[in-house]
Structure 1
């Protein structure tokens, strides 16, 4: 058997994830001929076919699937090793991978900017998603999670910001339609509500129960979309108090107690306990708290 080259495995893994030579070459910043050379060399060295070539791309053989599954685990282990080594070194360089709920990614931008000004050698990789990415996966360093305090045993959770929600409408919408004063009024208005994936939230559920389907004129699985629709004047919808403060044309609907502000949890800065000594993670938390303290005060 020929001597195996780890670079060949890296290229093959990239092709497997990308699905084609061209996409893999773009990710690796080389030409497709170079990628093909790595693939051919690895298959020759193993005497195994890893890919089936098609006009529409490269499909994995059974051996290719085994390679990809194994290398995915190795990727995670290498990321974890990188994190541990950088934590020991305690230098403010390299990267920090952060995930946060979509509706809060823009709010965090000023804090991220300040962090970069203070530590210019650190590169921030931000993933905005409403999915919970487990800290033990090794794919992220820090997760900013909204809701009740996370209780996973290997997770450290630090409070960043209390979250309150209320129902709002634009000044123009209220000027034309007025606002509900009791639950019995709800179906005289247009409602902009999260879809069923958010109906478990008590503050959403208690209002949904009073609405007819025809009066819910807009739905989305993202609170950011609801926010934009409310700001546009389309109808009434739930926003966090922190988000609503950015739009002077919005009016909080306090006439009906069911629509008034309610504490729905907090924003939590979470990371794996193995990273508790990581200087970058501690510093980013301090910057975030500094930049969000004025929101809590409001």
Structure 2
């Protein structure tokens, strides 16, 4: 048997996910001939067919299915090994992989910029997703999670910031339409509200149940979209206090207890306990903490 090459396995896995050489080549930023060379070399070394070539792309054989099921776990183990070895060296180079919910990804940029300015040899990879990526998967080093404190015994959890929200409108909206002085005037205004997936949040539910359908002129399943609509003057909507502090043209509604600032959870900096001595992970936490303190001051 020829010597196996891990890069060949990695390329084969990407082809399996992409379904074609062209798509895999685009992901790998190389040409399809290079991808094909990896596939041919791996199949020759194993003496096993992993793919069936057809006009619509590459389909997995039974052997290919087994490969595709097992490789993610092996890849995770390699990433974990890389992290442990780099933790021993304690230098500030290489990658740091971060995940957070989509609504907060943009909020991290200033802290990451400051971190990169101090540690220019570190490359940041950010994955914004509403899915929880298990720390033990090795896919990321750090996760910033919003909501209740995570209870996973295998992760270290550190508090970054309390998440409070309030209702805001841009100054341009206020200049044109004013603001409601009490509950009776709510339906005289244009509201930007989360869709039904967020109506269970008390802060949202107390307002939405008092609004007519016609008063809600814009809705989204993401708070980030609502925020963008508020910033451009489309209407009144919920915005986090941290984000609002960056935009001086936002006007906060505070004429009623209904619109008072409400605590909706916290932002948590989490990482696997195996990374407790990782210099990059520990340093990055301080940047996030200092940045959110500056915004809330």
User: What is the TM-score when the length of structure 2 is the normalising length?
Assistant: 0.92
Which aligned pairs between 1:25-44 and structure 2 lie closer than 5 A? 25-44=25-44
CA distance in structure 2 between the aligned counterparts of 1:7 and 1:255, rounded to whole angstroms: 62
Q: Is the 8 A contact 2:147 2:265 kept in 1?
A: yes
Deviation at 1:29, TM superposition (A): 4.3
Q: Find the counterpart in structure 1 of residue 112 from structure 2.
A: 112
Q: Find the counterpart in structure 2 of residue 237 from structure 1.
A: 237
Q: Secondary structure at the match of 2:132?
A: coil
Quickly say closer, same or farther: Cα 1:244–1:3, change in 2 above 3 A.
closer
Q: Is the 8 A contact 1:101 1:145 kept in 2?
A: yes
Q: Is the 8 A contact 1:144 1:270 kept in 2?
A: yes
CA distance in structure 2 between the aligned counterparts of 1:22 and 1:173, rounded to whole angstroms: 48
CA distance in structure 2 between the aligned counterparts of 1:11 and 1:159, rounded to whole angstroms: 39
Moved more, 51-60 or 33-42: 33-42
Q: Find the counterpart in structure 2 of residue 100 from structure 1.
A: 100
Q: Find the counterpart in structure 2 of residue 175 from structure 1.
A: 175
User: Within the alignment, does 1:264 sit opposite 2:264 as a pair?
Assistant: yes
Moved more, 103-112 or 22-31: 22-31
CA distance in structure 1 between the aligned counterparts of 2:85 and 2:3, rounded to whole angstroms: 29
CA distance in structure 1 between the aligned counterparts of 2:185 and 2:81, rounded to whole angstroms: 59
Q: Find the counterpart in structure 2 of residue 80 from structure 1.
A: 80
Which stretches in structure 1 are left out of the alignment for 5+ residues? none
Q: Find the counterpart in structure 1 of residue 216 from structure 2.
A: 216
Deviation at 1:3, TM superposition (A): 4.6
Moved more, 103-112 or 116-125: 103-112
Moved more, 209-218 or 30-39: 30-39
Moved more, 280-289 or 46-55: 46-55
Which aligned pairs between 1:245-260 and structure 2 lie closer than 5 A? 245-260=245-260
Which aligned pairs between 1:184-195 and structure 2 lie closer than 5 A? 184-195=184-195
CA distance in structure 2 between the aligned counterparts of 1:95 and 1:242, rounded to whole angstroms: 27
Which aligned pairs between 1:112-151 and structure 2 lie closer than 5 A? 112-151=112-151
Deviations 1:23-49 (A, max 9, x none): 323444443223223322333343432
Q: Find the counterpart in structure 1 of residue 8 from structure 2.
A: 8
CA distance in structure 2 between the aligned counterparts of 1:85 and 1:186, rounded to whole angstroms: 58
Deviations 1:54-95 (A, max 9, x none): 222212122211111111110111111111111122122211
Q: Is the 8 A contact 1:99 1:143 kept in 2?
A: yes
Which stretches in structure 2 are left out of the alignment for 5+ residues? none
Q: Is the 8 A contact 2:242 2:292 kept in 1?
A: no
CA distance in structure 2 between the aligned counterparts of 1:199 and 1:129, rounded to whole angstroms: 21
Quickly say closer, same or farther: Cα 1:124–1:190, change in 2 above 3 A.
same
Which aligned pairs between 1:256-295 and structure 2 lie closer than 5 A? 256-295=256-295
Q: How many residues align?
A: 297
Q: Is the 8 A contact 2:155 2:271 kept in 1?
A: yes
Q: Is the 8 A contact 2:170 2:230 kept in 1?
A: yes
Q: Find the counterpart in structure 2 of residue 89 from structure 1.
A: 89
Q: Find the counterpart in structure 2 of residue 197 from structure 1.
A: 197
